[in-house]
Every structure is written in structure tokens, then in C-alpha cells.
Amino acid sequence: MNLKERDKKHLWHPLTQHKLHPDTIAIVKAKDCTLTDEDGNTYIDAIASWYTCMYGHCNTFITNRVSAQMQQLDQVVFSGFTHEPAIKLSEALMAILPQNQNKLFFSDNGSTSVEIGIKMALQYHFNRGEKRNILLAFEDGFHGDTFGAMSVSSLSVYNGPFEDYFLDVKRIPTPNGENHQSILDLLEKLVLEHDVAGFVYEPLVQGAAAMKMHNAEGLDQILKFCKVHGIITVADEVMTGFGKTGKYFASDYMETKPDIICMSKALTAGLLPMAITSCSQDIYDAFYSDDISKGLFHGHTYSANPLACSAALAGIELLQSDKIQQNIQSISVSHQRFNERIKEHPKVKATRQTGVIFALDLNIEMERYGNLRDRLFSFFMDNGVFLRPLGSTVYILAPYVITESELEKVYQTIENALEML
């Protein structure tokens, strides 16, 4: 049996209804922006494997660093112990994070980084003797699959069976440049009626909501409001972090910085699972006490794994390099040129871009996981491009190392798909 057939015996894949979609594509190797399957077919990874491999697959600069670390220290518990890769990573992150960030808490993935951010926000008030148990979140947000992260998410396709068990969350619209005052009015009403502990949000781009983008000035006003009212702000930068919006973090576009930042995905350049929740000194100080019960009693077996820390360190070094920064700018300009040639197409409803993130909405009704969406996905793959439509939205979020010719093939394949629909 080939890999695809062997897969069916025991494996259960994420976001998959296996009765409707019994087949998978078996990938046997990856390099730079190219995935190769067991039949020798190649695909341009135009979404960096869910926004992780931003410096390309099997980047030797990163793998060599991890290989060297593997010979020195592979894994050690992080409760009561420390090690140089974690310490060096903390120092490297502080150089690129917003200046109000001062402490890091390690975990395993994006969902858990958000879960920890929520716990920090709720326990911050609890430790100070304040009863605040309501969270704020944007409409259409997505923050992960653990219960706290699901609670602040609002895409029912993921959450439906579990909603009776969620934390209490009040939702507000995303700012669009015209509704700022109405959002502030709603916030005034919410803080009068509820004990609001925190605000969890994706800054500027809502990934799973089909790359829905919102206004930086309006978000800054919301963050200012939260600061005035003692509401802890938790920025979910799992998708947006590490250069994708054109700055190191999307939070860099706002004057008001979050109290807490959640990171994963490109943190380790897609090589190993790891997440970090950073916070300001003020947040940390609320847990610093002679009372042991005021500590943050949350832990993961692989917290601050030395190999993952080494991958993250190498990734940050690449991110700060002139070459990668130039590539980010070049991709952004290429997207702008593509937008000019595609935006007036009769089958394109709308386009939008932030940094290297480009999205277009098709002027066609389409279910998020429906037959037409599947047909579109198959067309892309048959033409050697891995794009994963979110319903009627097609988006590009390719590795920073993608070549001009590869990017042009992605653009051309999208244009050809429009003619096919």
C-alpha cells in the first residue's frame, strides 16, 4: 500500500469529515517553498503550511542550529530548571517585542498561548481581590481549540457542540474606519453592566475569518478605552506575528500596546511546536507573592524545549536580516501589483492586503467547506499550488523566501481558477 492508503487505517486528521473526504495527499519532502508528494508531484506552499514555515521548509540555517543543540541538550523540565536557549530566546524576543513586554511564559501551541493569556487576565484581577469574570472579543474571531480559546472565538463551525461550557464573553464589532464611536459607546455600556476582565483580539487581521482586516486607528481607540477601565488586553499574534503584517508584530501599528501577547506558528519557523505568552511587568507583579496560591499554576511537559528555542532563535535572526526584510517588502509590492490586475475582475468581490497577507473574496456564494470550495482547492493542487480557500476567500501567505517566478505562478493560477469557476 502507498502512504495514502496506509494513512486511512489509523489516522484522524484535523478539520476533516473523513466520510466526505477519505483521501489525503502524502508529502514525502519539502524544501524552500516546494512540497513534494509520494508520486513526485510538486506544489508551491503558498500559505507557508498554515503561516509557520516563513523562512522556507528545511532551512539549513535553522536545522543546523537545532542539530547542534540536539547534541548538547535535548529536553529538560522547565519547572525549577532553566537553560541557555530559553534565556537567549528571551533576550532576542525582548529586542523585537513591543517595549512594554517584559516576561515570557512557555507552552506548546497557539491555542494554549491564548489559554494562558486568558488565565493571566482573569487571575490578575482575582489576585488583586477584584471580581471580574467577563471577557470581550471581536465578532468573527478565532483563537484556538482549547476551551478558553474557543470561548473567545465566534466561528460556530468550530465551536458548536461545546458552547454551553464556555466562559462568559461579550462581542464587539471590528473597527472599520466609520464605526469607531459606536464601538466606544457599546464598550461604555458593557463596562457599566458587567465586570469586564480582559479583551482578547487578533490585531488587524482575523485569520480564520478569511483574513478579515480592520482599522488600526479604531483598534487603538479600543485599546485606550481598555487601559482607562483596567481591562487587560490580550493580543493574539499567533498568526500575525513575526513579520507577516510588514512589522515584527501587528501590535507595532498601534500606539497603545497590549498587556499580553500570544505567539506561536512562525515563532519556531514551522520546525517544532512551541508557544509563548508574553506580558508586561505589571501583569507579572500581580502573581509575585508570598502566597503560593497567587502563582500561575499552568505547565506543559515540553515548555521551553531547548530544540524549539534554538529554532526560534535562528528564525528571529533571519527575520532581522536585511535579506528577509527586503523580501517582505518585495512580496508586499508584488501583492499590490497583483491587486491592480485582479481587483476589477467580474468574479472578484473585494481584495485586501496587510504586509505579505493578500486576500480576495470571490463574487460567488460558497460554503466554507462545501463542494465548490473543494473543487477550487483541487484546481489549485492540480496546477501545483497549495492554496487553501476559506469558503469564498482565497488568500496568499507565502514564505518570505518565495521567488518572483513562484509568486507569479501563484498569481496566474488564481487568475486561471477565476476562469474555471
Residue 229 is assigned to a ligand binding site: no
Phi-psi region of 337 (alpha: psi -120 to 50; beta: other; left: phi over 0): alpha
Question: 216-244 burial string, b = 16+ CB within 10 Å, else e?
Answer: bebbbbbbebbeeeebbbbbbbbbbbbbb
Residue 301 is assigned to a ligand binding site: yes
Residue 110 is assigned to a ligand binding site: yes
Q: Characterize the bridge pairing of strands 196-201 and 232-236.
A: parallel
Rounded to the nearest angstrom, the gap between the alpha carbon of residue 173 and the centroid of all alpha carbons in its chain is 20
Residue 189 is assigned to a ligand binding site: no
Residue 236 is assigned to a ligand binding site: yes
How far is the C-alpha of 354 from the C-alpha of 332, rounded, in Å? 8
- 347: its cell numbers: 468574479
Residue 12 is assigned to a ligand binding site: no
Residue 384 is assigned to a ligand binding site: no
Q: Name residues whose C-beta falls within 8 Å of residue 268's C-beta, 6 or more positions apart in sequence.
A: 52, 274, 308, 311, 312, 315
Rounded to the nearest angstrom, the gap between the alpha carbon of residue 75 and the centroid of all alpha carbons in its chain is 26
- Residues forming the annotated binding site for pyridoxal 5'-phosphate? 110-111, 236, 300-301
- Residues forming the annotated binding site for substrate? 50, 265, 299, 388
- Residues forming the annotated binding site? 50, 110-111, 236, 265, 299-301, 388
